[in-house]
Structure 1
Amino acid sequence: MSRHRPMPTARTRSVLALIPLVGGIALTACTSTEDTPDSTPSMAAPTVTSASVNPTDGLTPSAGTPATIPTSAFVELPTELRKSPRRTTPVTDALPTMCGNEFGTGGRQVTASAAMTVTYKKAGEPETNTPQGMIHQVIFTFDGDGASAYLGRLRTDVRACPAYDQSGNRVTVKSEPLTGVGDEALLLTRTWAETSLNGDRTGETASSQIAVARVGKAVTVFNDQGWEGTSGNPTILDRVVRDGAKTIDTWQG
């Protein structure tokens, strides 16, 4: 598999401010022997504990609104697609960015947030082969109508960002509804001119996707990134998003 310069992903290159995102909610410790999302993940199995956040500053979740997010709420890849087990990831590293802070507008109605990353491969490929990509999953839980409001704000922000520049490369964004997933869902496809590790245009295009779904009082964001700047796999992402929404629905009961 050819190697390319890291794609102009929407992953943060500078740390997003968490305070505006969660309104004073602080992440509790999540023990994990993980690599950072910007590095090539080790294939050693990590030690993962429940990823959770506790509300502070007087926030009181309404009845039925989870105040912690367990590891079991996150999707896990089927064995044939799993390059390495899911691992905990800082929320600010897992959230994509485009023109601005489109995905970091949860506000004070957020009662919990956590993120994990799965590394995938093509089905049937040997374990020694290079991974095909990574999918970062973030889960927010909200009080009141916060989950619906988050999707509403996101749609507005996405419409205002049809294209953006990333590392000197122009990235175009296409948004469309994603049907049959949770209570409502949105799919974004990012496309850019592919370049080699030397920065030369290959004449091809590369693409990756972001999917956002609301399931009850929770919103989950899936950020797919191809390995070493290659395209993500939309078929795998679609499966992960649908399985992920069902997993959250089961967790919320």
Structure 2
Amino acid sequence: MSRDLNGLYRALAADTDERVLPAPDRVRRRADRRARQRAAFGALTVAVLVAGTAAGTRWVLAAGPDVDPAPATTTDGPSPSPTVAPPSPTPSRTPSPPARTPNAPPKTSGQPPDPGPTSIPDRAFFTLAAANDTGIGAAKVPGPVLPALCGAEPGESAVVTRRARSLAFKLADTPKGYVPDGSYRNSITVYRPGRADDALAELRQAVRDCPEQPVSETSEATQRQRLLRDTGYGDESVLFETRTLSRDVNGDPTGGDEVHLIRAIRRGDVVTVLWEQGWEGTSTDRAQFDADSRRAVEAIRRWLT
């Protein structure tokens, strides 16, 4: 045996002598602990495999379509492979229509709107109080129902029918048989449904747009118009005045103004106009004019009621 090999044996013997072998019971406990660890690891591995198999089975069952088994057939030839029927499509649920369509127009009776009156009876006009009656009576004469307003014709495009008359009156303290104190041009106009308020709006604008105009084409005299505040007559009203230089019977200025009032009163689609025109240069008496305006409104109310 060589010298090197002998040296290796001596080193191995010396190393073995220094290690102390454990007692038998300690070796047995260590072996039991290792056996229990291997058993626990094996059980854990089996549990993981079982859980994975169950999850995979559920996924396959959920993903695959329901297939009816093919009926058994008895034939002499080889059995054909079962044909898998395609899954029937799931019927889609159509949402039921809403009970009410949004923004639907309101239901109507199908009947056209009431066109309103198509004629104007005599009873629609007011009568003067006994103290203001001159005994002359009313005259149904043709003519304008408003003073000229720079050529404007407010509301004329919506007129259905119209009647007018002229009526002289006296103040209560004027003896009967004397010259009248003034005269009215009283008209009643029926407009198309919903257009009477437009007519009054056009009248207001016409007065605003015509603050001054010539009295006539051959005269140098001018007439001025302006709106006045007005409330308390019918559904709405328009009040304005015309103003010119006051003149005597010879046409010479007297140093004052001749003022006349015009009031248009609406009730529904009907408008009555009271235009005070004076008598031989007189101006409008405001108290008398307001009283007769109320009588005109009341006559319209009784007619339409």
Flag whether TM exceeds 0.5 (same fold).
Answer: yes
3-state SS of 2:214 partner: strand
Q: Give 2:250's aligned amino acid.
A: N
Which whole-Å CA distance do the structure 1 matches of 2:153 and 2:144 have between them? 14
Is 1:183 matched up with 2:232?
Answer: no
3-state SS of 1:96 partner: coil
Retained in 1: the 8 A contact 2:226–2:240?
Answer: yes
Q: CA offsets, 1:74-116, max 9 Å, x none?
A: 11110101112223232x344322322345x321x32210011
Which whole-Å CA distance do the structure 2 matches of 1:114 and 1:152 have between them? 21
Retained in 2: the 8 A contact 1:216–1:249?
Answer: no
Pairwise CA distance, 1:64: 5.5
Structure 1 length as normaliser, TM-score? Answer: 0.70
Task: Give structure 1 stretches of 5+ with no counterpart.
Answer: 1-60
Counterpart of 1:71 in structure 2 is: 122
Structure 2 length as normaliser, TM-score? Answer: 0.59
What are the within-5 Å matches in structure 2 for residues 228-239 of structure 1?
228-239=280-291
CA distance 1:66–1:78, shift in 2 (3 Å): same
Pairwise CA distance, 1:222: 1.2
Identity of aligned residues (%): 31
Retained in 2: the 8 A contact 1:95–1:138?
Answer: no
Counterpart of 1:9 in structure 2 is: none
**How many pairs are equivalent?**
190
Pairwise CA distance, 1:135: 0.4
Which whole-Å CA distance do the structure 1 matches of 2:118 and 2:170 have between them? 33
Pairwise CA distance, 1:241: 1.2
What are the within-5 Å matches in structure 2 for residues 1-253 of structure 1?
62-63=113-114, 65-83=116-134, 84-90=136-142, 92-103=143-154, 105-107=155-157, 109-166=158-215, 167-253=219-305
> What is the alpha-carbon root mean square deviation over aligned residues?
1.7
Q: Comparing both structures, which one devotes a greater share of its residues to strand?
A: 1
Pairwise CA distance, 1:141: 0.6
3-state SS of 1:238 partner: helix
Greater relative CO (CA pairs within 8 A, separation 6+)? 1
